[in-house]
Amino acid sequence: MSFAWPIALVGLLAIPVMAGLHVLANRRRRRGAERFANPALVPNLVAASPGWRRHVPAVLALGALALLIVGVARPHLVQDVTRDEATIVLAIDTSRSMEAQDVQPTRFDAAKQAALAFIDEVPDDYSVGIVSFSTSADPVLPPTADREAARAAIAELRLGSGTAIGTAISRSVDLALARRPGEEPDPVPQAGEASPAAVLLLSDGAQTAGDIRPGPAAQRARRLGVPVSTVALGTGEAVVEVPRPGGLKERVVVAPDVPTLRLIASTTGGTFSEAPSAARLEAVYRELGTRLARDRKRVEVTSAFAAGGAVLLLLGGALSSLWFRRAL
């Protein structure tokens, strides 16, 4: 919890002081009564002692005062709220290394199944776009709420060769914001302002192609206010066969570039996940589908504290009137 005017909380120091004064007042009243009557005769003069009831109205009044003081400080809570609408772009690595079988049945097939699971988690009124990247990055599907079109686009994905992560980020951000390639926003989103667009990038290797490096692409995504969540697919032990001149084939170890993908996520305000298996990948996608559908916003709860204080104050006054025929 945070407060817009925390200096008001200094007023809470008065609560223990007032509680102490209440205790002293009751002791003084008791000593005063003892001067004029024998304490042993009091039961004969008074039908019943108020006992603990004497303190209830005062405790309620002090509780009400505490809640009202906190309300004056204007408390805020950070809550998860569902976005009304948003655009999410899936950037899926289709390089040759996606043929690796360390993720069953292959990285490529597992990625497509996980993408379908992701689409099932995203609210129906959200727009989903798809970018396929290998040597270059190409929009496969413009953002649309048509889930059948998204599923068909995922089914039509085909493998390429290299890995252009930086270009994929840039094209995905442009697609999410419905902008021409390289176009800057006007105006630039304010600091802390949530963008209605997000990118989810899956890659199983390091950058080997493209003119745009991942670092500058991530910096641009941050300027545009678009978080890029990244998923590193596979393990560092998988190998694929790469064709070479003369009909030869070379066995190449294909491992995800975890440091780069982690840096992209941290730079843009997204999340980073590792998926060494198909089950883990699908779980990550489902979790991200739910997470990207929500925003964390600061909500002022002053009215709740004010209402609580008013209820306690009215209850204390009612009990005091009922039991002692007097106000607080």
What's 249-310 look like in SS3? EEEEECCCCHHHHHHHHHHHCCCEEEECCHHHHHHHHHHHHHHCCEEEEEEECHHHHHHHHH
187: pLDDT strictly greater than 50: no
Query: Poorest-confidence range of 19-33, 60-74, 122-136?
Result: 19-33
**Per-residue pLDDT at 18:** 86
Reported residue count of the chain is: 328
CB atoms within 10 A of CB 315: 16
Query: Poorest-confidence range of 19-23, 142-146, 239-243?
Result: 239-243
pLDDT band at 83 (very low <50, low <70, confident <90, very high): low
Query: Poorest-confidence range of 2-6, 49-53, 58-62, 126-130?
Result: 49-53
Which bin fits 234, alpha (ψ -120 to 50), beta or left (φ > 0)? Answer: left
* Domains of the chain, earliest start first: 2-78+299-324 (no CATH), 84-292 (3.40.50.410)
140: pLDDT strictly greater than 90: yes
pLDDT tens for residues 260-283? 999 999 999 999 999 988 888 988
**Mean pLDDT over the full length of the chain:** 82
As a whole number of angstroms, the distance between CA 92 and CA 109 comes to 11
pLDDT tens for residues 214-238? 999 999 999 999 999 999 998 877 7
pLDDT tens for residues 164-183? 999 999 999 999 998 655 55
Tell me how far CA of residue 113 lies from CA of 19, 116, 292, in angstroms.
64, 5, 19
pLDDT band at 193 (very low <50, low <70, confident <90, very high): very low
**Per-residue pLDDT at 321:** 82
Q: Which strands make up the sheet holding 127-133, listed edge to edge? A: 137-144, 127-133, 87-93, 197-203, 228-233, 272-275
- Specify the pTM: 0.64
Q: What are phi and psi of 277, to 5 degrees?
A: -145, 165
Percentage with pLDDT > 90 across the chain: 37
